[in-house]
Amino acid sequence: MTDLIVFSVGENKYAIRIENIQRIIQSVTLTSIPNSHKFIDGIMSYEESVIKIMSFRKMINLPSYRDELEALFVKLKAGHGAWVDALKVSITTGSKFTKTFNPHMCELGKWIDSFTAYDDRVSEVLHELVNFHKQLHTRGGEACEIREHDVDEATRILNIDINDIYNHTMGALDTFVLELDLVANSLQKLLIYENKDKIFAIKVDTIEDIAHIEESDIMSSENEEKENEYLELDGVLDMNGVLINVIKTVNLPK
């Protein structure tokens, strides 16, 4: 029986043998190394020593997590701009509002519910965002109900209250953009990895699971080779219809 830690990087899923992992910790702010290898994100203190951190995203040629977050926030802001526009049409014309008033069901709400902040500053901004976002959906629902018997009051709520709450919600999202490095660290994890008496960390997006498998469960694949000289795959694992790349070894660049 073999135990594997399953993790995600972008839309890709990988598994690594648990005996090579000393610990899993939250990502932290790193100290950069001038002229270091392109896969190295920096260094950090670990158990009275200094270790290097490899970016798994860089190893498999993906954009940085920070860049993906920035694109996500642009998308989330556009989504709520469209939400407010639809509310304006509904209140102005009396047409049915087809979007959701449930703050947990829109794309921004789903992202908020999936996000856990470990930094005090990020937690503060998240708390502000949650409050304004909830107010936006709640007040929007109230405006639509009021519109049924008082169009002028519903219009006033739309033009004053909804507009103000929306601006505060977008302001909180803008603050997230300004704090992208902290937000990224709140989401990403570091696998403290040991290979050939070398200890270093591998930065990944999300820890998915711990899988208990037989070695025979690992299937050979066309990708059962070195993706590059630092990442060697062992085959693939089928977990509930999802194919997971099993890592044989990760080597630290000099």
Q: pTM for this structure?
A: 0.79
Residue 177's alpha-carbon distances to 32, 65, 83, 183, in angstroms, are: 22, 13, 21, 9
Nearest to 249 by CA among 236, 227, 225, 232: 232
Angle made by CA atoms 213, 224, 9, in degrees to the nearest 5: 70
Residues of the chain with pLDDT under 70: 222-227
Ordered domains of the chain (ranges, CATH): 2-62+188-250 (2.40.50.180), 65-183 (1.20.120.30)
CA distance 254 to 244: 28
The model's pLDDT over 48-78, given as tens digits with 9 standing for 90+, comes to 899 999 999 999 999 988 888 899 999 999 9
What is the structure's pLDDT at 94? 93
What is the structure's pLDDT at 86? 96
What is the structure's pLDDT at 192? 96
CA distance 47 to 6: 25
The model's pLDDT over 96-120, given as tens digits with 9 standing for 90+, comes to 999 999 999 999 999 999 887 777 8
